[in-house]
Structure 1
């Protein structure tokens, strides 16, 4: 199976995940080099956004911040090729984040380091350069409501 980069697809779209308020952004895929993913958070509104397949950390962070669409959005965690990132939020609005080589470990670590009550993962993303895709790898189970 050819990668998306080999097929020449250009992924530069912003996709809103229906009903959960998370936004994801992808860039052109490139399986030959390190790619980056990032998650931005609006601490005031609880909105998160993920971006992946960017050639630099700065580009991934900028895309995640733009996709978040809130004035206070800031990139909080970035993952390079082969890594996943996750953000968790507690009921007292305490945020935490982590990165690891699998989504499950990143999520567990993000929850584990949160000092607030009942933390839950609200967004995660994996950057896999071998596949050249992140679109199948971003997940936002639930966005906080305010």
Structure 2
């Protein structure tokens, strides 16, 4: 079963269970998927759907920080719940040791010597670690290794 079908099935389960909060989060995800499919006139693969989920999670993280800065914990809690719903559809994330090993391997592969080569290393790792590692964390590890 592909990821889009799993999300659709989970929406049906949430409807039957009358779980309005989960249903709302799943509908937002399906709307984003459908919007991209209509805009680009394609059927999205699982990797494309994971990219959409990553983007939605990034938006949620930004919203949470803004809500907490404004002392609106109620709205931050809603965003955190939606991130939890979206996390179910993400592939298993790599551990710190695995990410560090990939960073070290990429640095040696491109022959990076300093911070000016960070873009080359990031280019290699972006396709390799997309969806399975937080790219912000990857960027920080690259910077630490090249400094």
Could you say which TM-score interval applies, normalised by the shorter chain? under 0.3
Using structure 2 for the length normalisation, give the TM-score: 0.27
Larger relative contact order, structure 1 or 2 (CA cutoff 8 Å, min sep 6) = 1
Higher percent of residues as helix: 2
